[in-house]
């Protein structure tokens, strides 16, 4: 037993940050509470843990790592005043960790955790929306870079909407906060997409992932899925509060004061475009102001939108291409390719649209939306691209194959991909028809803009 204790003690010294002059009592009790935590005996761990926490707060980061688990277990079991006390103590523990181990405590992350804990227990703590919003706002401003938790970002915005509805925040403050958090989410999506893309490319090349790569892939995909969920949640929460009837008067009123504020103008343009307020003369004024302030990929794209509105398609395409050429960031360039492709798709120029969608995929292969768009265009062309009734419906197999790719590369689209695949396969020739024509395994060439082929399934 003594040998086991000595070995464990040595491991602790190696595994955690300590000091040259260690306190013997703290060493012993840290070893004791750490073993209890490993065994999930949190009640037994509590007393020795508190002793070390109070006597040697800078002794070892295990005080805070294990302490969080101990207090979470206490909170789960407690009721009433005792529960409130443990919650408040966990908030205090986060603050103490930041004070005693700043290099191991990302400020925004832990400040947001403290706010989320209080929000999740707001009723028992009697916290108001205003108090909770101020908590999240302070955490966000303290260290925006490490305030990345999807749930907390959503909670932060949700509280802003609630305060706006209670007439404690203005429409301008609401839209500014929406734009700010959307940009934050987009930067995180770009970050995780950049990490995921090499793994997707490796798999698509037929090379199995190795080592820790499958775990990393799952980790990156989980974050992208969560950011996708909260983005949809934010849009739902914002709802009609950001319709054209509300946006146009607000931006009209604030335009003169902000027409040289590049961030304000850029966000106003993006919001009006997103909410389809592009028929307003104000949109024209904002786009021109943005281009004058900083000619960029974004401003060139919106100038193309204006030309499209005027019916000058060829001029619009020149601006769209200029936007793509100006953009140097692959993630943003991919989004531009997708946007332009979607415009060609809506106008019925499917061949050109597919070219843009494929370019978007090259730059950001973990985004499956271009695959779904291509699949939809194939399906829409089934009747015009096949030369016989059977071959016309065979186009749906091609659409299903393309839709399946979306779910393979993009975890956020697995459900939509599966639904599309099922829908397209249901419209394709069925087993009885394949049997009747005796064409199982036959390759069917598909003409017109698709210019591809599909193999009849074997039955």
* Average pLDDT per block of 10 residues along the chain, 459 residues long: 43 44 83 97 97 95 97 96 97 98 97 98 97 98 97 98 97 95 96 97 95 96 96 94 93 95 95 94 95 93 94 94 96 97 95 98 97 98 91 96 97 97 96 90 93 91
Single residue among 55, 89, 105 that ends a domain in this structure: 105
In a domain, 398, yes or no: yes
Q: What is the pLDDT of residue 386?
A: 83
Q: Where are the alpha helices (DSSP H) in 310-413?
A: 313-326, 330-347, 350-363, 369-380, 382-385, 389-409
In a domain, 179, yes or no: no
Are 326 and 297 contacting, i.e. CB atoms less than 8 angstroms apart? Answer: yes
Cα separation, 309 vs 208, in Å, equals 47
In a domain, 166, yes or no: no
In a domain, 245, yes or no: no
In a domain, 48, yes or no: yes
Q: What is the pLDDT of residue 11?
A: 43
In a domain, 445, yes or no: yes
Tokens of 193: 């997409």
Number of structural domains found in the chain: 2
Of the candidates 364, 408, 357, 409, the one whose C-alpha atom is nearest the C-alpha of residue 378 is 357
Q: What are phi and psi of 247, to 5 degrees?
A: -70, -45
Q: What is the pLDDT of residue 405?
A: 97
In a domain, 126, yes or no: no
Single residue among 53, 77, 105 that ends a domain in this structure: 105
Q: What is the pLDDT of residue 10?
A: 45
**Domain range holding 30?**
1-105
With H, G, I as helix, E, B as strand and everything else as coil, classify residue 452: strand
Of the candidates 315, 326, 321, the one whose C-alpha atom is nearest the C-alpha of residue 340 is 321
Single residue among 50, 70, 105 that ends a domain in this structure: 105
In a domain, 393, yes or no: yes
Q: What is the pLDDT of residue 20?
A: 37
């Amino acid at each position: 037993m003594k040998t086991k204790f000595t070995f464990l003690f040595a491991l602790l010294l190696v595994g955690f940050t300590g000091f040259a002059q260690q306190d013997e009592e703290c060493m012993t009790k840290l070893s004791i509470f750490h073993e209890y935590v490993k065994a999930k005996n949190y009640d037994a761990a509590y007393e020795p843990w508190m002793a070390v926490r109070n006597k040697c707060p800078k002794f070892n980061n295990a005080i805070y790592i294990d302490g969080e688990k101990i207090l979470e277990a206490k909170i789960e079991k407690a009721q009433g005043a005792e529960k409130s006390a443990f919650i408040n103590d966990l908030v205090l523990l986060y603050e103490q960790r930041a004070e005693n181990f700043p290099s191991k405590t990302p400020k925004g992350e832990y400040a947001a955790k403290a706010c989320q804990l209080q929000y999740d227990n707001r009723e028992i703590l009697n916290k108001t929306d205003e108090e909770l919003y101020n908590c999240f706002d302070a955490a966000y401003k303290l260290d925006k870079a490490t305030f990345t938790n999807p749930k907390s970002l959503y909670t932060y915005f949700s509280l802003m909407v609630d305060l706006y509805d209670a007439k404690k925040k203005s429409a301008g403050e609401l839209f500014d906060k929406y734009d700010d958090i959307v940009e934050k989410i987009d930067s995180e999506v770009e970050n995780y997409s950049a990490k995921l893309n090499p793994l997707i490319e490796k798999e698509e090349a037929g090379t199995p992932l190795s080592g820790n790569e499958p775990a990393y892939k799952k980790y990156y995909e989980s974050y992208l899925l969560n950011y996708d969920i909260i983005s949809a949640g934010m849009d739902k929460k914002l709802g009609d509060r950001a319709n054209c009837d509300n946006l146009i008067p607000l931006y009209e009123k604030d335009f003169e004061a902000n027409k040289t504020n590049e961030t304000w103008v850029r966000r106003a343009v993006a919001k009006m475009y997103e909410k389809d307020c592009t028929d307003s003369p104000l949109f024209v004024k904002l786009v021109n102001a943005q281009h004058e302030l900083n000619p960029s990929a974004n401003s060139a794209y919106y100038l193309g939108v204006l030309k499209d509105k005027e019916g000058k398609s060829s001029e619009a395409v020149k601006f769209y291409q200029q936007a793509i050429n100006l953009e140097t960031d692959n993630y943003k360039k991919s989004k531009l390719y997708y946007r332009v492709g979607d415009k060609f798709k809506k106008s019925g120029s499917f061949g050109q649209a597919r070219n843009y969608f494929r370019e978007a995929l090259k730059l950001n292969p973990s985004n499956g939306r271009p695959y779904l768009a291509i699949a939809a265009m194939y399906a829409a062309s089934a009747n015009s691209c096949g030369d016989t009734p059977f071959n016309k419906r065979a186009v749906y197999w091609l659409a299903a194959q393309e839709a399946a790719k979306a779910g393979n590369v993009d975890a956020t689209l697995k459900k939509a991909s599966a639904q599309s695949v099922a829908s397209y396969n249901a419209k394709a020739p069925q087993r009885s028809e394949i049997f009747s024509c005796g064409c199982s395994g036959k390759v069917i060439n598909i003409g017109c803009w698709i210019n591809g082929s599909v193999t009849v399934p074997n039955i």
